[in-house]
A and B are shown apart, each in its own frame.
Chain A
Amino acid sequence: AQKITQTQPGMFVQEKEAVTLDCTYDTSDPSYGLFWYKQPSSGEMIFLIYQGSYDQQNATEGRYSLNFQKARKSANLVISASQLGDSAMYFCAMRGNTGGFKTIFGAGTRLFVKA
């Protein structure tokens, strides 16, 4: 069975510093995709970054990068130079590429950026 684990219910970071949000996963699917979404207090789900299981390099999108360690089954999100607007819930998600496209989400990490 597929599973996503986010062990940090809440995180604090000082403005302009970097922060790492943890995500570990479990799947028997040989091919899968990993996603991070941001959910501000407004409730919208905003796509941040994607990593494919066969991608050789870690994904980067602006200030977001994904530290993908396949052997450890971890896909941590790194946010560099935190901004006050980064305060939100962050969800890690996984979708298998075989046997359907069901996507499962972790419980989320609430990030607080301090001025």
Chain B
Amino acid sequence: GAGVSQSPSNKVTEKGKDVELRCDPISGHTALYWYRQSLGQGLEFLIYFQGNSAPDKSGLPSDRFSAERTGGSVSTLTIQRTQQEDSAVYLCASSSNLGTGTDTQYFGPGTRLTVL
């Protein structure tokens, strides 16, 4: 089946503009994660959704960042009033979260955001 997809693949925006990044998880996966990867760095956890439970937003760096997941499937990460330090690759991952312990996360190709 299809893997995790993200759109757009690249986004260039001007400082101060709002952007929306989209993630389509693997069909049937109940868990969805957003991460940020700055150039040459590891992954920084942003937010986690699991089914209908309240999301874990503990990684969001500021109140300019928000995310939602509609119908337990597609998720949108919104960054308001973008700043140059927001420039990074934003990665989405999904997992089946069957509670087996493995819960392997499968990643999308990412969205490369450049804030000018």
Contact = CB atoms under 8 A, between A and B. Distances in A.
B28 interface: no
Counting chain B residues whose Cβ lies within 8 A of the other chain, the interface size class is 20 to 34
B61 to A, nearest CB: 14
- DSSP majority for the A interface? strand
B91 A105 contact: no
B104 A107 contact: no
Contact of B48 (A91, A97, A100): A100
B48 A47 contact: no
Contacts of B104: 35, 47, 50
Interface of A: 31, 33, 35, 37, 43-47, 50, 52, 91, 93, 95, 97, 100-108
28 contacts: A31-B101, A33-B103, A43-B109, A44-B107, A44-B110, A45-B91, A45-B93, A45-B107, A47-B105, A47-B106, A50-B102, A50-B104, A95-B103, A100-B48, A101-B56, A101-B103, A102-B48, A102-B58, A102-B59, A103-B33, A103-B105, A104-B45, A105-B35, A105-B44, A106-B42, A107-B41, A108-B41, A108-B42
